[in-house]
Amino acid sequence: MRRTVFEPDHELFRESVRQFVQRTLVPLDEDIRAERMLRREVWLEAGRQGLLGMQVPEEHGGQGAGDFRFNAVIGEELARVAAAYNSIVSIHIDICAPYLLELATEEAGKRWLPGFCTGELVTAIGMTEPSGGSDLAALRTTAVRDGDSWVINGSKTFITNGGHADLVIVAAKTDPERGAKGISLFGVEAGTPGFTRGAKLDKVGQPEADTSELFFENVRVPASHLIGELDRGFVHMMERLPQERLSCAIANVAHARGVLEETVDYVKERTAFGRPIGAFQHNKFLVAELITKLDVAQAFVDQCLAAHVAGELTAVDASKAKWWSSDVQNEVIDGCVQLFGGYGYMREYRVARAWMDARVTRIWAGSNEIMKEIIGRDAGL
């Protein structure tokens, strides 16, 4: 079925993104997996190609596109190669960007946004804590006002880009007695005394992504690094989570699509008992099911993307897109592993790596159980 959410300009842009991926990322793929982080040279090249500042105004060095569909194109093309590449870049352009563009002070915006666009300043967001998981209201990290500064103490975990980010948006309690109504956001720069990082976490999948623990011990940041309104950090996060969840859904479908296309080619070529394994009815029916489920998921995600561009995407629909696409992604890739047989269990094959990479999508950005809770509440339950 022809997709109608994109216009000719988006498809032209897709070709340039695809060229960037093939020219810059693919040749370094094995090295990036071994090093467990995206090299700075890739960030800088992405900046030179204009991929990091699509939503940033021109006066700050961006393209000022004002159309999230360009971000969606970037996410799709990165995810088709490896889920982690989208994870790494989307944290920067889809998740951190709105906080800096919409909530940071003018002084901070001038300080951070030009480097954000060039790749000289890589960002991460510190929400999740060791004891909190999806419960953002249960934060233990604190920020206490001291003259013209804030002093931050606490820790974060599972932070994508955490090990090499130049700027981390940190959620902290500024009024602990008020629970969720006492959370604020701060920009913490690399090199700030007291800000340290743990070793890169040893994940099951997505080795390309630098995922780390962060520690804050009497970290002092200027008052101008407060992002958004004091004590309204939880509201700011909730308002921006639909875009994050849509970004996840877009990547989930694209990631599964790339693997499924490879699998269809494989079952046409691999023979058993004298004929291609795709000719056996069971395998043919399995492929038919996987294609259909993915196409149906794509249609809903595209509608959510169109709604977001129109300013109409709801938190409930974003939750539906996130949980459904991640479930379908995992089901599709698991089916692909089965079709590859023993080779599907070998890390040298992309299908095996994709299978490991996909599992986390049912957990992060709010677990799928949380997504269902949101949807159920909307139904009045």
CB 90 within 8 A of CB 38: no
- Following DSSP, what letter does each residue of 254-288 receive, concatenated? HHHHHHHHHHHHHHHH-EETTEEGGGSHHHHHHHH
Tokens of 91: 């944290």
In this structure, which amino acid lies at residue 226? L
Please give the helix or strand (H or E) that residue 219 lies within, else none: strand 211-222
DSSP 8-state symbol, 2: -
β partners of residue 276: 271
CB 213 within 8 A of CB 159: yes
In angstroms, the CA 129 to CA 373 distance is: 21
Q: Collapse the DSSP code of 169 into the 3-class scheme (helix H, G, I; strand E, B; otherwise coil) and give the result.
A: strand
Cite the active site residues.
244
Residues whose CB falls within 8 Å of the CB of residue 299, separated by 6 or more in sequence, listed in order: 1
